[in-house]
C-alpha cells in the first residue's frame, strides 16, 4: 500500500475502535502507543503519513465532513442521524453489527393517542414513523433508553439491539425492525479528490482486509 499524502483517520473510542484496529493492522497500519493505556487523542502510527484521532462515535461524521479527518469509521445509525453531508460512504466494514429497532413492554395497551417514543435516534425515528403515516412525539434521550417505558416516560423506545439481552433484562421485547446497522468507512469529499491516490490505496487495502474476514 503506497500512501504519500498525510491521512488522518477518525475513530470512535468504544467497540468500533476494538474492531477496526485488526482491520487496520491487516493493512499494515498500527498505532505506536498502546491505545488501551494512552490518554492521547492523536495516535501516531508505524506509517509516518497516517495518524488516528480518537473521538466520540457520534462526532465522527462531523470531523470527516469538515475535513478535520480525511477518513473515519462510523455506525450506520450515526450516519443516518447525521445525514451524510460532505461524506462518501464507500465501504461496509461489517463490524459492530446490530439492528435499529422499535421496542416496548409486551402486550402493552398503546391506546389511540399520539405515541411517545424515547430515543437517541431522533431523525431516524421521525422518518420511520412518518413513512408509516404515524404522528409520534419523540423524547430525546442520550442513553439507557430501556428505562423510559418502565417508568412511564414513553410508550416505546427506538434503540440498537444486538443479542437482545438488554431488552430482556428490562422486561422489554423487540417489536419492529427499522434498519440493519454496521460500521462504515466514510471519506471526506474534498480529500477524495485532493488525496485520491493515498485515499484509494487505503480504501482498497481495507476492502481486501474486510473480504479476507
Ligand X SMILES: Nc1ncnc2c1ncn2[C@@H]1O[C@H](COP(=O)(O)OP(=O)(O)OP(=O)(O)O)[C@@H](O)[C@H]1O
Q: Which residues bind ligand PRP (CB under 6 A)?
A: 143, 159-166
Partner from ligand PRP, ligand X, none contacting 164, C-beta within 5 to 8 A by type: ligand PRP
Binding site for ligand X (CB under 6 A): 12, 14-16, 56-58, 75, 77-78, 96-98, 160, 162, 181, 183
Partner from ligand PRP, ligand X, none contacting 12, C-beta within 5 to 8 A by type: ligand X
Least Å from the CB of residue 143 to ligand PRP: 5
Least Å from the CB of residue 133 to ligand PRP: 27
- For ligand X, which is the closer residue by CB, 24 or 115? 24
C-beta separation of 87 from 61 below 8 A? yes
How far, in Å, CA of 156 to CA of 115, rounded?
8
How far, in Å, CA of 177 to CA of 159, rounded?
10
Partner from ligand X, ligand PRP, none contacting 165, C-beta within 5 to 8 A by type: ligand PRP
How far, in Å, CA of 26 to CA of 111, rounded?
53
Partner from ligand PRP, ligand X, none contacting 181, C-beta within 5 to 8 A by type: ligand X
Cell numbers 409520534 label which residue?
A: 136
- Per the DSSP assignment, residues forming a β-bridge with 158 are 102, 119
Strand ordering across the sheet containing 87-92: 42-44, 50-55, 7-12, 71-75, 183-188, 87-92
Amino acid at each position: 500500500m503506497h500512501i504519500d499524502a498525510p491521512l488522518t483517520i477518525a475513530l470512535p473510542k468504544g467497540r468500533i475502535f476494538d474492531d477496526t484496529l485488526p482491520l487496520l493492522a491487516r493493512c499494515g497500519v498500527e498505532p505506536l502507543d498502546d491505545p488501551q493505556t494512552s490518554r492521547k487523542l492523536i495516535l501516531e502510527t508505524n506509517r509516518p503519513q497516517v495518524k488516528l484521532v480518537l473521538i466520540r462515535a457520534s462526532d465522527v461524521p462531523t470531523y470527516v465532513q469538515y475535513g478535520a479527518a480525511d477518513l473515519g469509521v462510523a455506525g450506520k445509525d450515526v450516519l443516518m442521524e447525521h445525514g451524510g453531508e460532505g461524506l462518501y460512504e464507500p465501504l461496509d466494514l461489517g463490524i459492530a453489527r446490530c439492528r435499529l429497532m422499535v421496542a416496548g413492554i409486551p402486550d402493552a395497551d398503546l391506546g389511540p393517542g399520539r405515541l411517545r417514543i424515547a430515543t437517541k435516534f431522533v431523525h431516524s425515528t421521525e422518518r420511520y414513523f412518518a413513512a408509516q403515516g404515524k404522528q409520534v412525539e419523540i423524547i430525546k434521550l442520550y442513553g439507557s433508553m430501556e428505562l423510559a417505558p418502565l417508568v412511564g416516560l414513553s410508550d416505546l423506545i427506538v434503540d440498537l439491539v444486538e443479542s437482545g439481552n438488554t431488552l430482556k433484562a428490562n422486561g422489554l421485547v423487540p417489536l419492529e425492525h427499522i434498519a440493519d446497522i454496521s460500521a462504515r468507512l466514510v471519506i471526506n469529499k474534498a480529500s477524495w479528490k485532493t488525496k485520491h491516490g493515498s485515499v484509494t490505496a487505503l480504501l482498497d487495502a481495507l476492502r481486501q482486509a474486510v473480504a479476507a474476514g
